[in-house]
């Protein structure tokens, strides 16, 4: 069965509230994006967006190998069908540079939301 490399940066990380959605998947390591993203507090969970040139920062998270069934669950959790998030390629630094990794980018307006720098904690 094939798997997809998935970057998680919020409540799906180990020890946080939605981590159970990754049960049965394989943790591959910690990771950090290139400094092209911004993360916002959406009220108990974060949303990562692609930043305008020169305005982004690096976001810390984890890379997981997720199978097709796991991806279906994550898409449901992230509201992909409702247009809340899109499952898109994410550029990572270090050991993950150049790897085909995807993550969930937030699609809705973030105006008025508090920006979170670096790492999401609950």
32-79 tens-digit pLDDT: 999 999 999 999 999 999 998 889 999 999 999 999 999 999 999 999
The pLDDT score that the predictor gives to residue 2 is: 87
Looking only at the bridges linking them, the beta strands covering 101-106 and 3-8 are parallel
The pLDDT score that the predictor gives to residue 1 is: 64
**Whole-angstrom distance, CA of residue 112 vs CA of residue 114:** 7
Domain ranges across the chain = 3-116
**Catalytic annotation present for 68:** no
Domain range 3-116, CATH architecture = Roll (3.10)
Choose, from 55, 68, 69, 78, the residue flagged as catalytic: 78
Per-position b or e across 95-107, b if 16+ CB within 10 A of its CB: ebeeeebbbbbbb
Return the ∠ at Cα 116 (arms to 113 and 118), rounded to 5°: 160
pLDDT (average), residues 96-104: 97
The string of pLDDT tens digits covering residues 13-29 is 999 999 999 999 999 99
The pLDDT score that the predictor gives to residue 40 is: 98
């Amino acid at each position: 069965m094939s798997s997809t490399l998935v970057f998680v940066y919020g409540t799906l990380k180990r020890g946080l509230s939605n981590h159970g959605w990754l049960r049965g998947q394989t943790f591959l390591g910690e990771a950090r994006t290139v400094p092209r993203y911004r993360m916002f507090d959406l009220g108990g969970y974060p949303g990562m967006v692609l930043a305008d040139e020169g305005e982004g920062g690096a976001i810390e998270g984890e890379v997981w190998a997720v199978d097709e069934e796991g991806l279906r669950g994550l898409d449901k959790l992230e509201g992909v069908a409702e247009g809340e998030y899109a499952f898109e390629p994410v550029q990572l630094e270090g050991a993950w540079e150049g790897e085909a990794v995807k993550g969930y980018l937030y699609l809705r307006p973030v105006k008025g939301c508090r920006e979170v720098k670096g790492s999401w904690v609950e």
